[in-house]
């Protein structure tokens, strides 16, 4: 398969990857190119910017969650038919699992997908030292995949001299620079960037940034580099399991619940699920004839008054789950299932009441990063679901996190108990990526089908 592609990486977080990626995507779309974008690692908000604001097809790629073949298959499935695919790296280029490996790093993704890398270098306070800095990244791994460089926060006067110096000394293409663009920045909050709809004039900001990058980046050169990416062997990732008949799954989707992996939706649909969105904020009832519900993450803590006020849907969710409606809930959805939740204003809000206890705010990240889940009891009708790759990232904690699974940090001795698991419930702080272990959605959908058959018998 011929799939033009590049990966934008940097030496450290805060180097401008996200802003430059968004600006470049906007510029490519502005040129009339059918563009796909991908975020390396477990990030929900960046792909939301790419897809909802810029209009690209955007997905996550994560070599912790998926094998090399599955990672390539997911990439191909979402990139096929596009003129160019742009991957955005995570953290520093070589920074991976455990802080001591390159596994699941941006470098690892470039290696697995055989993708040319453009290194974004925050040039503030440097000149000749840029050559030494870039040389270190080029030589740390013989197969670094780094084929080009972009200078961020560089003055137009300095750029020609630095381009000539770096290309002459290192033999690598310098593909432009980005000046200071303070009026184009994207604000952040405790879980990452603020949501796209919260930024006034966001489209105008990114359009302005794209116009700047058209003048300061060698976009033709970037396209040529993407076109030089090697052909890929095609990989099929069609799930092995499909339901004997379809089921209807209610998916919470609104201001409070907005953290989704689109590929989770894909695998559920391919297995036979019809996904029906509903809002725990705005809807008074669950959708009709649902056979299960999914409560993903988001910002329930920012929407405490609205969630508390909607007592009818809270009561319906509580009663239906108690009567056997299958439910999977993670992070923000798990918080919503508690009896009480402290919101961002420090006020205690009454929630759905499925999980006894209270969720409370903590001054720092409670637990974060990759984990591997091992079950301790039969859950969703399965005694041995196998190892489940997952991740946690939350500033809130619970008096009752559950103890039906054990979360082990990779490359570490640290671990903890988590998740409430029953025959029909899987609820906890960990976020799951279903391609990492397709037996999870399979077990959930089987329970949904059982519920549907039982409901029809009644």
DSSP letter, residue 379: B
State the chain's maximal CA–CA distance in angstroms: 78
* Cβ neighbours of residue 150 closer than 8 Å, sequence gap 6 or more: 8, 20, 118, 119, 120, 121, 174, 175, 176, 177, 178, 217
Phi first, then psi: give them for residue 443, nearest 5 degrees: -65, -40
User: Measured at the alpha carbon of residue 402, what is the angle toward residues 397 and 403, in degrees to the nearest 5?
Assistant: 130
Q: Which helix (H) or strand (E) holds 209?
A: helix 202-216
Q: What gap in Å lies between CA 286 and CA 295, rounded to an integer?
A: 12
Give the whole-angstrom CA distance, residue 82 versus residue 300: 36
Which residues lie below 8 Å from residue 108, measured CB to CB, with a gap of 6+?
63, 96, 102
286 three-state secondary structure: coil
Task: For residue 445, give the DSSP letter.
Answer: H
DSSP H or E segment with residue 360 = strand 355-361
Q: Cα(393)–Cα(406) distance, rounded to whole angstroms?
A: 16
Q: Which residues of 117-155 are buried (b: 16+ CB within 10 A; e: fewer)?
A: bbbbbbbeebeeebbebbeebbeeeeebbbbbbbbbbbe
Candidates 40, 258, 331, 401; catalytic one:
331
Q: Which residues are within 8 A (CB) of 427 and not within 5 positions of it... i.e. 6 or more apart?
A: 295, 327, 328, 329, 330, 333, 334, 337, 354, 355, 402, 419, 420, 421
Burial class from Cβ neighbours inside 10 Å (0-12, 13-18, 19+) for residue 219 reads: buried
Q: How far is the C-alpha of 104 from the C-alpha of 335, rounded, in Å?
A: 28
Q: DSSP letter string over 188-202? A: EETTEEPPGGGSTTH
CA–CA distances in Å: residue 407 to residues 2, 417, 420, 424: 40, 6, 13, 20
Q: Is 401 a catalytic residue?
A: no
Query: Known catalytic residues?
Result: 331
């Amino acid at each position: 398969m011929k799939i033009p592609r590049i990966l934008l990486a940097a030496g450290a977080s805060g180097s401008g990857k996200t802003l430059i990626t968004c600006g470049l995507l906007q510029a490519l779309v502005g040129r009339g190119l059918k563009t796909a974008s991908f975020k390396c690692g477990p990030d929900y908000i960046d792909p939301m910017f790419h897809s909802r604001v810029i209009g690209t097809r955007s997905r996550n790629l994560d070599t912790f969650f998926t094998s090399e073949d599955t990672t390539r298959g997911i990439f191909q499935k979402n990139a096929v038919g596009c003129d160019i695919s742009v991957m955005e790296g995570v953290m520093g280029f070589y920074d991976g699992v455990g802080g001591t490996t390159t596994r699941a790093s941006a470098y690892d993704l470039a290696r697995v997908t055989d993708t040319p890398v453009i290194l974004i270098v925050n040039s503030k306070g440097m000149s000749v030292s840029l050559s030494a800095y870039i040389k270190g990244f080029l030589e740390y791994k013989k197969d670094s995949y780094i084929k080009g460089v972009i200078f961020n926060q560089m003055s137009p006067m300095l750029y020609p001299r630095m381009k000539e110096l770096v290309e002459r000394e290192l033999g690598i293409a310098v593909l432009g620079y980005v000046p200071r663009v303070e009026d184009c920045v994207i604000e952040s909050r405790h879980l990452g960037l603020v949501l796209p709809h919260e930024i006034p004039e966001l489209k105008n900001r990114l359009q302005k940034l794209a116009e700047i990058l058209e003048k300061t980046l060698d976009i033709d050169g970037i396209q040529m580099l993407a076109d030089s990416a090697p052909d890929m062997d095609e990989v099929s990732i069609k799930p092995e399991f499909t339901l004997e008949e379809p089921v209807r799954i209610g998916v919470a989707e609104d201001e409070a619940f907005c953290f989704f992996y689109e590929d989770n939706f894909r695998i559920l649909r391919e297995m036979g699920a019809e996904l029906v969105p509903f809002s725990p904020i705005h809807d008074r009832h669950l959708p009709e004839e649902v056979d299960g519900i999914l409560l993903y993450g988001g910002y329930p803590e920012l929407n405490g008054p609205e969630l508390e006020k909607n007592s009818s849907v809270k009561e319906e969710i509580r009663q239906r789950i108690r009567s056997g409606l299958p439910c999977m809930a993670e992070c923000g959805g798990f918080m919503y299932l508690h009896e009480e939740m402290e919101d961002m204003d420090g006020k205690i809000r009454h929630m759905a009441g499925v999980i006894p206890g209270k969720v409370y705010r903590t001054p720092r990240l409670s637990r974060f990063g990759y984990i591997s889940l091992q079950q301790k009891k039969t859950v969703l009708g399965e005694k041995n679901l196998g190892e489940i790759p997952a991740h946690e990232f939350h500033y809130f904690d619970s008096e009752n996190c559950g103890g039906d699974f054990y979360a082990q940090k990779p490359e570490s001795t640290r671990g903890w108990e988590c998740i409430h698991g029953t025959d029909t419930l899987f609820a906890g702080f960990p976020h799951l990526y279903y391609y990492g272990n397709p037996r999870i959605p399979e077990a959930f959908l089987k329970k949904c089908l059982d519920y549907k058959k039982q409901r029809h018998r009644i």
